[in-house]
Structure 1
């Protein structure tokens, strides 16, 4: 239990120490009006309180990622917890902060627009395609996962029988409504309550296992195992662990979600709490589920059997009802179900806004919102027919590749302004090597090359990308932030 508490303390300390350093490096201006006021439209640009924006941001970025990812990552042993802590503080939270604050500084712009501004039009076009693909995959994953969990809950705990197809249809219907209505009508009104439920559920489960006489929180694992690969299936820790645990450490999906709250944030001084802080909160949730998976089943071998017999959803179901009984289990399980639903709708909402930016189509009118949203839901509906396992594998790679692009975008921004760019460049180098090595080595999604060859090529390619970004960005020279914001705002309003 001591190691779990040390990990949580490290995350909290990271927020106050490293988070403050990142905030000072960026250089907030409390007197600068945010897009929530300068571009207020009553639909997507709506001022909301600091606490409300934080809870919505936490739900938007969470999904099943900080639960399913750490459960799958726990198969590698306690090393997964080490990556959650280090990845969250030095990569994920920094990534989220810059994706949110750069959006604030650029009129609430989405990640493709930001990449285009700081890395060039090639990056913009790449990110437009990649972000839409990622968000569609997220939307599909976050339809299938909660539909499966709800179907299992109803069929196991009641006399009723429901089909997976009917649950998918109900969730899709909700997504359509939530995607096109003003952000403060459903998301801003109900999601803060769901955010509180998420926190309550996570704390309740970890408390239950900590005080239980039947289970021991990480008691059967030694400190040395923090640095060893315990995967019972002999899967390599490098680079798979850093793809498997995404949302709990670093996730490109967050870069697509942060602009949603950048359009609602009242003051730049709230940025560290909203963006860096929400990622730290997600890291704590990821730690809880990683620790639960390792402790509830007693060994990685037993955990592997549970995953094999029903996926990570089976782990959630077993732990929730095993630790809290029927009533508590239902509440905890529903808390987990809410996560993907509250991220799935914002995934489609982000897709709509990215397409709207690309086609320069205002979104105040319902007609225009439907024109952007309907094709997305048609494609999403078709993709729900594809096997969930296949979708999840592609989601993991697409997710981390998007994170890489956002980190390089932040590095380019810092280089332009002659600021310490290594805070984003170092994690960008690491994650670029991860995704290139993964796609070269993986025989299912990629090229099936040997690990050593894949890693060497990944390192060489990453060094080339690093040199390109540094040379290209330093040549731009320093830009005055006030002039930059004014120019960006003018272009968006003209569009």
Structure 2
């Protein structure tokens, strides 16, 4: 299969979907250009702060993308490129985009609170507590995972002093943080014009990469980097959003745009042919295409983490509903789908390449960019540095989200504030400490369950959006169909994992218990939602 044709088909379908289905969803969700958003009505310039749509798109896109749309398709390519490509296209348009856009608008309608608050208003306090507990535990796992991933990427091995790629990535990433804070002050406090500041910021961003590449001075161990990163995410969670989190993610988004453009140009010039098979069978390496394809390819099609980003940080910064909500909520998901297809093309072309998904992606994209003069060795380093920056954007955003969820979780039934709910430093500290304990225990041991947990979170978010639409008397087929599909996927995956962990030869009781807890939790929330939908239907019938 010609990769250029595949990419053009993807982009063409996504453009049509944005104009047509995206507009349909905007009408269904009731987008109102005159309605004031929480960023204005609750503005505090710490969490609630209206942002330019281009800046917020960069922050949102960087946060939801991270390393997910690269890792998932590369791992799932064992099933063949055809099922992965079809899932990316269908999932992004009809499931992931619906999920992200709906989570954003529902949160805006509930004062920028998390999906947990949407559950409370539309399904009751018990539903909120269960959802927020599930969401917070998922975030703790995300923070632990990405802290360990970033620390491993940045670590310098004194026993192998010739390899300085980790030090290069770490040095560049720390320079990014300084640049972001200067950018935030200039734009928000000194009135610098966004276009000029962005242009200069991009140039300085590239200079930071060059400095990191030429002068990798931060040669720290993995443990030292873990401590540095924990301090950083504490600051990212508690400082005003305009000072660090938003500008860093916005500037880093240009790296991702750069990779997309570079890969696109390389594919146009080189138009390589995919070397992997279109379809390798329903069962590969003891894993079945259903449900594991739909769990493995998460961020490139649908991811529960996106609902937490949409409803925790983005909804507090969106300036106006029209056209910002559609651009950010739906458009960012489609752009992420393009990244996922590029990752699929990369692994499809370098089919025999070995290493981590990040290495396979870097090798493939660097090979594409070499077609217009960028040395392949330089391209590999550049893409690897960018990959580490993406992982860091998910890490800092996840920590702030964890703080929001824990604060809501610790509120009294009547909205009464408790010590944790009103203290952002304490809520952040608890979230980080829980993640650090998980790192020490060894998050890798429970990582296999994360894919199912993440997709189950997506199903639960769609459930919350469906309940919200139902309560407001709107038709719910656009959310209820993908919700049912995602529940079938995740419950099937959990059932297979429970069988594997509790009833096979190689038992793992910890993972088995976690899978059982997730299964029970999801069934309880489904029951709560069913009662709510039936009640809403009866109420609507009586009103007629």
1:398 matched to which residue of 2? 453
Q: Secondary structure at the match of 1:442?
A: helix
2:536 matched to which residue of 1? 473
Q: Secondary structure at the match of 1:384?
A: helix
CA distance in 2: counterparts of 1:332 and 1:30, whole angstroms: 39
The 5-angstrom pairing of residues 45-84 of structure 1 reads 45-78=48-81, 79-84=83-88
1:177 matched to which residue of 2? 235
2:98 touches 2:330 (CA, 8 Å); kept in 1? yes
Matched, 1:251 2:251: no
The 5-angstrom pairing of residues 84-123 of structure 1 reads 84-123=88-127
1:359 matched to which residue of 2? 410
Structure 1: gaps (5+ residues):
450-456, 479-495
1:63 touches 1:142 (CA, 8 Å); kept in 2? no
CA distance in 1: counterparts of 2:426 and 2:288, whole angstroms: 45
Per-residue deviation at 1:17? Answer: 1.1
2:143 touches 2:395 (CA, 8 Å); kept in 1? yes
Report which stretch shifted further, 244-253 or 316-325.
316-325
Per-residue deviation at 1:476? Answer: 4.8
Per-residue deviation at 1:262? Answer: 0.7
1:15 matched to which residue of 2? 18
| Distance verdict in 2 for CA 1:231–1:147, change over 3 Å | farther
Q: Which of these residues, 441, 452, 464, is aligned with residue 496 of structure 2?
A: 441
Per-residue deviation at 1:447? Answer: 5.3
Matched, 1:427 2:472: no
Per-residue deviation at 1:389? Answer: 3.6
2:46 touches 2:241 (CA, 8 Å); kept in 1? yes
| Distance verdict in 2 for CA 1:258–1:362, change over 3 Å | farther
The 5-angstrom pairing of residues 212-251 of structure 1 reads 212=270, 216-218=272-274, 221=277, 225=279, 229=281, 232-251=284-303
2:225 matched to which residue of 1? 167
1:274 matched to which residue of 2? 328
1:31 matched to which residue of 2? 34
1:139 matched to which residue of 2? 143
Structure 2: gaps (5+ residues):
168-215, 371-375, 505-518
Per-residue deviation at 1:474? Answer: 2.0
1:93 touches 1:276 (CA, 8 Å); kept in 2? yes
Matched, 1:371 2:429: no
Task: Deviation per CA, 1:54-86: give whole Å up to 9, x if none.
Answer: 111101111211111111111211111110110
Task: Deviation per CA, 1:92-116: give whole Å up to 9, x if none.
Answer: 1100011100111110011111112
Matched, 1:344 2:395: yes
1:100 touches 1:275 (CA, 8 Å); kept in 2? yes
1:103 touches 1:114 (CA, 8 Å); kept in 2? yes
Q: CA RMSD in A?
A: 3.0
2:178 matched to which residue of 1? none
2:139 touches 2:402 (CA, 8 Å); kept in 1? yes
Task: Deviation per CA, 1:284-338: give whole Å up to 9, x if none.
Answer: 11111122111122xxxx36xx2xxx43233234435555522222221111111
Give TM-score scaled by structure 1 length: 0.84
1:289 matched to which residue of 2? 343
Report which stretch shifted further, 140-149 or 285-294.
140-149
Per-residue deviation at 1:43? Answer: 0.5
Q: Which of these residues, 319, 334, 339, is aligned with residue 364 of structure 2?
A: 319
Give TM-score scaled by structure 2 length: 0.77
2:421 touches 2:427 (CA, 8 Å); kept in 1? no
Report which stretch shifted further, 151-160 or 344-353.
151-160
Per-residue deviation at 1:232? Answer: 4.9
2:245 touches 2:396 (CA, 8 Å); kept in 1? no
1:481 matched to which residue of 2? none
